[in-house]
Structure 1
């Protein structure tokens, strides 16, 4: 059994800003659940960064151990679904929001929240994908369910330098799409082309107020930005095309017209990765295992230490982090 383990814990601070502390916890401190997972790797998503900095009300229960993604090994199970030694992943399900999350050496969670770690991936590689990549896969699957394929025309990915966008570029290109990557980092153009992007678009071209109906340019889109960017993408989507929307980095608003929907039959496909059905989660991870080239994944990932989580979260919100961040020494201070 684990005697004690380190964790990052958030206490409710003044004026909405959390107080971040590093704590030493024991299994008795954990919340209810029927599976204990020794955390081997985690990551920093946009939502994690918001929680750690207090820039948005992500945390809904205090105190909170943040971190919405984990990969590791079952240390103890009180469920027939899992056995000690099983390799597992958890994405979402309120982790780091209402239930203690991944920034700890040990997590206690509900059995039905877990999915098996695909044999192709290590724990670190799975966290190189994380909720961002799993969400990207859900977006691609949503476009395919809508009947879209590369023969219909090109696809646009917004926020392409970020976690969701970069993996969406790679997954779409792998399936034969001509991908345009929208980014505010021109210095990363060669990197995006290495992921499979055919064209690079400056994000400024989509960031301002646009026309109710623009020229038809893309058959499909994956958007993690929202606001004017999503509105412009919708206005320029081809007849009977669709956009999978999964993020709000640019804002919660959608200053759009109904014109694309009623004059071109464009569809807006909402993608919720937090509470996605188990069958969809499994299919998304199957697609990632099928289509994500290990060399491409390696080019997406930067590894950091446990002590670097908080400063990296700030850098992510400032647009200084490219691709994915992986923390592999979460359990390094755990005493067994």
Structure 2
């Protein structure tokens, strides 16, 4: 299933019976204008874009794909998996073979999605799929990494006390998901399979007033060569950088350029400087427009400041976009040192 604007494009299937039920459900719920059923054959691409869904290929963009693949590669594997269960299931399995069995099993099926995504790239923002075997998670992530992917998510689905499933998602874009979406809280998934933590929290020194910490955060980032938009009402800021703008070298260069610019302006300044010119050159951080201020940015971040326990103020930095975890770590360390020093 995919989201396209305010419409859903769903239920790609190869089984005539399933397609009939899907169309009946759409019609019965009066969703014909929003949900489209796409009939496929086993040899068709898994992610149809273009005329197959009634749109010009160049105009088609999907927010995400969602997949529940056939888990097993043969009937024998399906039967063996059922026999291996320690307890009998609470309910009978109603899935047809066409829904549960495919050549190569779920790994081969999702691998096809990965290969297609390599070509489609950012025409789909997020590709996602559920898997029924935990071993498939590591296998598929290895395939993703071999293809050069640096932005992925892992999920764990627990139904009651027995059934457990997993999910993986990946994107070729650099927008980073929140920690609760990309890194499950359970203990069943080893840390080496999880993406880099996209959030970092630290505390100001004890007894530091909230206003002092806010001033330290805001003034520290404002002094950098980055786009920075601070909302005093929510004590939250959004920033974008074209690289490491907080290293000593970058800050020295910025200071040098500012001095040279001021000297040049003083030498070549016109006799009169109109108010209109001043307003035209004034960059207002609050006027954030997506894909404008962040265009070309290597690193995007969001900083929030909150009153914490025992009088300590809590500062949270969230990685918003970018591929380089080293830059994110570096920025977090820089901001933490500045806040702790009260600068």
Q: Same fold judged by TM-score > 0.5?
A: no
Structure showing greater radius of gyration is 2
**Structure with greater helix share of residues:** 2
| TM-score bracket, shorter-length normalisation | under 0.3
Q: Please, what TM-score do these two structures have when normalized by structure 2? A: 0.25
Larger RCO (CA within 8 A; separation ≥ 6): 1
- Output the TM-score relative to the length of structure 1: 0.25
